[in-house]
Structure 1
Amino acid sequence: MKTNLTIFLCAMLAICSASVANENTAVNAEIYLGQKPPGLIPERFAHDMIDRGFRAASTSFSPDLKEFYFRRRGGEFEKNTLFVIQFKEGKWRESALPPRAGQPFVSPDGNILHLGNKYRERTPIGWSEVKSLAAPIGDMPIMRLTASAKGTYVFDEPTERGHIRYSQLVDGKRQAPQSVSEPINSGMWTAHPFIAADESYIIWDSERDDGYGDSDLYVSFKQSDGSWGKAINLGDKINSKFSDQFGSVTPDGKYFFFHRTYTTDGNKAEIFWVDAKVIENLRPQT
């Protein structure tokens, strides 16, 4: 009798455990293009939907995770072309967003689509026409601009060494751009910054002596005194002998996205994602 009861209880426990496991790995078809979430090892993101054998890069999600922006180049797209894949009427639908293909970043409130030194505003019928940021930022050559929930801009200047600056929003007024710390602005080709919504860290890519190949991804955490900490390489699970660039964390803070370029001409790149714990695991313990 006890043996039968033990077998029964073990079977019920196995069923419950399987149910919990299935629930934890369940795929929500309405977000993240319906993809199964990755673990701590990077995986290609939505390869069948995005890749056409050319270059796919520079990603950003809307806050509700139902809009995915990226750029594609190659084949019929001779130049970088901005695309969005949206969840509409129960399906994911892709469309191009001409005329400007700047590196996209959707603001934390979802109302601005930043495109370097340009932007578009969300309206009841879609995105507005392309507009220029106010001077002096709008007059600067910018590849990628991202923004925090407080409205702080962090952006790059496309020089040979590369340079990352920031501009705060104080009492509704945009402040003059300033350089971020030397630990960030070291190395070569320093570019493509991403600032966390809470401003607790900045991610960027650069070529440095401690790298694993071409451009590597780095993170710097904000210190208690407001300064930026040392540049921390994201490690060999993220970085490779190729160019690993355009790092960003999704609006819900769960996943880290980046792209990897496989060719010297930059015409073959794929988008990867990984659990954002890879970032938190590098945060210095206080």
Structure 2
Amino acid sequence: MRTNSIILSICFALAGITAPVSAGELFAPGVISTGLQETSSAFSPDGHTVYFMRSDFSEKDDTILVSYLKGSQWSVPEVASFSGQWHDSEPAMSPDGKRLYFVSNRPVTPGGESLTVEMMGQRYPGTNLWYVEQQANGNWGEPVHVDGAMNDGNQVYNPSIAANGNIYFSAHRPDSGKFYQVYVARRTANGYATPERLDLGDADQNRMDPGVDPQERYIVFAGSGPDSLGSADIYISFRGPDGKWSKPEHLPGDINSPGLENAPTPGRAFGELYLSSSRSDAPQYPKVRDTLLTLQHRLASALNGSRNLWRFDISEVLRSHGIAQ
């Protein structure tokens, strides 16, 4: 995405026109999208509160933040009440707004060791699925660990919650092969069933970061394949009458770039899609000679190659597959 795309998005918004899928919008530049890493948006049902992850470039220091829409502006983010001490990331709101799920390396039992995992000879913070529940006063309660098979292996990422309580997530499990795959844990009268791997095409490619439609009509995810433009792109799959998922389609327009796209999340309005992207405004050479001030300003800007949050409109894609508002 380049600067002219941002200008086009602003023009569409001022004119009251719904932007096509090719016109992306950098989400709250300088406030939410900054020169650090931002990813994984989770909106309240009214769309006026957003939780997201902010991190350093190496993603060793992940924290969940919250921002509030005040008029037409998003507030300066604050550390979420349940975050700030552990490696917390990837918030996901239930459709009714009563639970907020996230992943963390915090100890499963108080006073225990933080979770770790070893992969390809390196040790990383492990991740288990947790949630906080909305209290009568509107605040979040204490984090609750999700017990059961979903957390097997300590490599659970990007939960997404359907209206019926089913939890979609990506993980590395015994049937994942070499790569991460997408799973669903179906809610039953007795808790959650054993997670099932979704058939989303070639299992010899990464399938990560599911964002499921609340009615489970479609799912978006980050993956790689022969048509990928970058290290990971955003794909969409539709659920048929038989419950099977269609062959994934590479989303069109400027949704994907030569950079990294991941963590797609359906927004609260029909056709809204939020995602994280590392696309940047690379300088053209020879560039106007920098001063130290202009260089530092550009290197600290949102479009410096860090991951930022972007908003797109995929309503036409959905309508073309028979999904109406």
Greater alpha carbon shift after TM alignment, 222-231 vs 152-161:
152-161
Counterpart check, 1:177 vs 2:195: yes
**Paired residue secondary structure (2:227):** coil
Cα offsets for 1:221-253 (capped at 9, x unmatched): 001111111011102421111111111111232
Corresponding residue number in structure 2 for 1:269:
307
Contact 2:270/2:315 (8 A) holds in 1: no
Greater RCO structure (CA 8 Å; 6+ sep): 2
CA shift for structure 1 position 51: 2.9
- Alpha-carbon separation, structure 1, partners of 2:204 and 2:69: 40
Amino acid at match of 1:276: I
Trace 1:47-86 onto structure 2 (pairs within 5 A).
47-74=29-56, 79-86=61-68
Cα offsets for 1:142-173 (capped at 9, x unmatched): 11111100111111114751111111113363
CA shift for structure 1 position 267: 7.2
Percent sequence identity is 20
Tell me which of 7, 10, 16 is aligned to 1:25.
Answer: 16
TM-score by length of 1: 0.78
Contact 1:157/1:164 (8 A) holds in 2: yes
Cα offsets for 1:184-234 (capped at 9, x unmatched): x63433210111100001111111112112101111100111111101110
- Alpha-carbon separation, structure 2, partners of 1:250 and 1:22: 17
Amino acid at match of 2:179: R
CA shift for structure 1 position 281: 5.1
Change (3 A) 1:194 1:90: closer
Counterpart check, 1:136 vs 2:149: yes
Tell me which of 223, 227, 239 is aligned to 2:244.
Answer: 227
Greater alpha carbon shift after TM alignment, 207-216 vs 81-90:
81-90
Contact 2:68/2:74 (8 A) holds in 1: yes
**Paired residue secondary structure (1:103):** strand
Tell me which of 137, 140, 150 is aligned to 1:127.
Answer: 140
Trace 1:97-116 onto structure 2 (pairs within 5 A).
97=80, 98=83, 99-100=85-86, 101-116=88-103
- Alpha-carbon separation, structure 1, partners of 2:74 and 2:33: 15
- Alpha-carbon separation, structure 2, partners of 1:283 and 1:82: 35
- Alpha-carbon separation, structure 2, partners of 1:203 and 1:86: 26
Change (3 A) 1:80 1:229: same
Amino acid at match of 1:243: L
Contact 1:213/1:241 (8 A) holds in 2: yes
- Alpha-carbon separation, structure 1, partners of 2:257 and 2:73: 35
Tell me which of 65, 79, 90 is aligned to 1:96.
Answer: 79
RMSD: 2.9
Corresponding residue number in structure 2 for 1:151:
165
Corresponding residue number in structure 2 for 1:5:
none
- Alpha-carbon separation, structure 1, partners of 2:139 and 2:218: 31
TM-score by length of 2: 0.69
**Paired residue secondary structure (1:166):** strand
Corresponding residue number in structure 1 for 2:295:
none
Contact 2:179/2:206 (8 A) holds in 1: yes
Corresponding residue number in structure 2 for 1:241:
258
Change (3 A) 1:71 1:22: closer
- Alpha-carbon separation, structure 1, partners of 2:96 and 2:261: 28
Contact 2:26/2:310 (8 A) holds in 1: yes
Change (3 A) 1:209 1:91: closer
- Alpha-carbon separation, structure 2, partners of 1:279 and 1:80: 33
Give the paired residue count. Answer: 251
- Alpha-carbon separation, structure 2, partners of 1:23 and 1:261: 26
- Alpha-carbon separation, structure 2, partners of 1:89 and 1:281: 31
- Alpha-carbon separation, structure 1, partners of 2:275 and 2:74: 21
